[in-house]
Amino acid sequence: MITLVTTLLLVVLSNFTVEGARKTYGVADSGSNDNNVKLFVFGDSYVDTGNFINSPAYKPPYGITFPGHPGGRFSDGRVLTDYIASYFNIDSPIPNAFRNESNIQNGINFAHGGCGVYDTHIDGPNLTAQINSFEQLIQQKLFTKEDLQNSYVLVNAGANDYTTHVQDHKFFDIPKFITTLVDQLKTDLKRFLSLGVGKVAVSLLQPIGCLPLITNIDFHLSCIGLLNKVSESHNKQLNDAIEHIKIEAPGANTSFVTLDLYTAFLSTLDLMMKKAARDGNSSSENAIESPLKECCVANLGFECGDMNHHFGTRLYKVCGHPDVYFFWDAVHPSQAGWDVTFPLLKPALAQLTQQ
């Protein structure tokens, strides 16, 4: 039985790719940035706002809520980066793919959908390579020391590493892989100290056992605990690694906080499930079958956004009300999902601002 479940998870997981984003209009260019804060973003599709040009995020139905058309975000609307930028009173930083000398006043977003700490099966820069690009721009003196000391860094990476690891059929090495991965992540994070960045926010891993792609195997009835344990173990080790960075560099001018996506997702989903149970099978058009179900449901073996090019037909179905769904597609929160998650991350950001 256990073997069967594990095999199922393997099959399901092997299709699980957190992809990310292309060109986005209307967010990054409004100009005013009085407090001279900049945000530099690294990682995957949860934070990419447009670097992944040939991805589903540039196809319908992505972007229907914001900016109103496919704009390179892996959601119907805004993603975590947009919420964090607005918390700092700046517009979302320009994706690196569209950077020029006059649009970097809010920082730069280096994140690329589908990427990880290590190389994944996506043709995009891993975390080290993303930080290398940042370092090159610092060497070219695009940012002053003061700029960097006033800057924030956001790092959200890791989920795609687990996917890739499992795709490569090494499921049973997972405990060892977690340790190796967190170690590499720690090496990457330490670079922000020598680069002179003032404040760094690092996402903890979301509960991967709650993603619709995974819960699909039992009709979205509940999260798969075995996989959430992977997230828990990753997060515990990552928290420890960050504590060690602080201890190893006592006089450093770089502060770190973690953004607990794990707890934020779980507590939100838990509330939604309780509400759904209370409301029962009400026939309201806003009622959803399960908070663990996504709005954009792909046909078996396909992804949200896929088309049958021969017949010109969609290989997915979109719900009527993305605003009542936590998940937009099989792995990404909807804008509504980020809307309810973000307030739970604010205390950590407040702590970072005060340091």
Ligand X SMILES: *[C@@H]1O[C@H](CO)[C@@H](O)[C@H](O)[C@H]1NC(C)=O
Q: What are the beta bridge partners of residue 43?
A: 156
100 sits near ligand X (criterion: CB under 6 A): yes
Residue from 133, 184, 237, 263 binding ligand X (CB under 6 A): 184
29 sits near ligand X (criterion: CB under 6 A): yes
Q: Which one of 112, 165, 220, 332 is the catalytic residue?
A: 332
Q: From residue 219, give the alpha-carbon distance in Å to each of 152, 212, 222, 292, 331.
A: 40, 9, 8, 9, 15
Q: Which is nearer to ligand X, 194 or 299 (CB)?
A: 194
Q: From residue 184, give the alpha-carbon distance in Å to each of 106, 127, 178, 202, 241.
A: 28, 10, 10, 14, 10
User: Distance from first CA to last CA of the chain, Å, rounded?
Assistant: 50
The one segment of 78-86, 100-108, 133-141, 236-244 that binds ligand X by CB under 6 A: 100-108
252 sits near ligand X (criterion: CB under 6 A): yes
Residue from 280, 301, 312, 320 binding ligand X (CB under 6 A): 280
Q: Are 19 and 74 in contact (CB under 8 A)?
A: yes
Q: What gap in Å lies between CA 303 and CA 147, rounded to an integer? A: 40
Please give the single-letter amino acid code of residue 5: V
Q: How many residues bind ligand X (CB under 6 A)?
A: 17
Active site residue 30: no
102 sits near ligand X (criterion: CB under 6 A): yes
Helix count and strand count (H, E) for the chain: 10, 10
128 sits near ligand X (criterion: CB under 6 A): yes
Burial class (CB in 10 A: 0-12, 13-18, 19+), 320: exposed
The one segment of 12-20, 227-235, 246-254, 347-355 that binds ligand X by CB under 6 A: 246-254
Active site residue 188: no
Q: Which is nearer to ligand X, 114 or 337 (CB)?
A: 114
Give the CB-nearest residue to ligand X: 280
Active site residue 112: no
Helix (H, G, I), strand (E, B) or coil at 126: coil
- Can you give the binding site for ligand X, defined by CB under 6 A? 29, 94, 98, 100, 102-103, 118-119, 126, 128-129, 184, 251-253, 280-281
Residues identified as active-site: 45, 329, 332
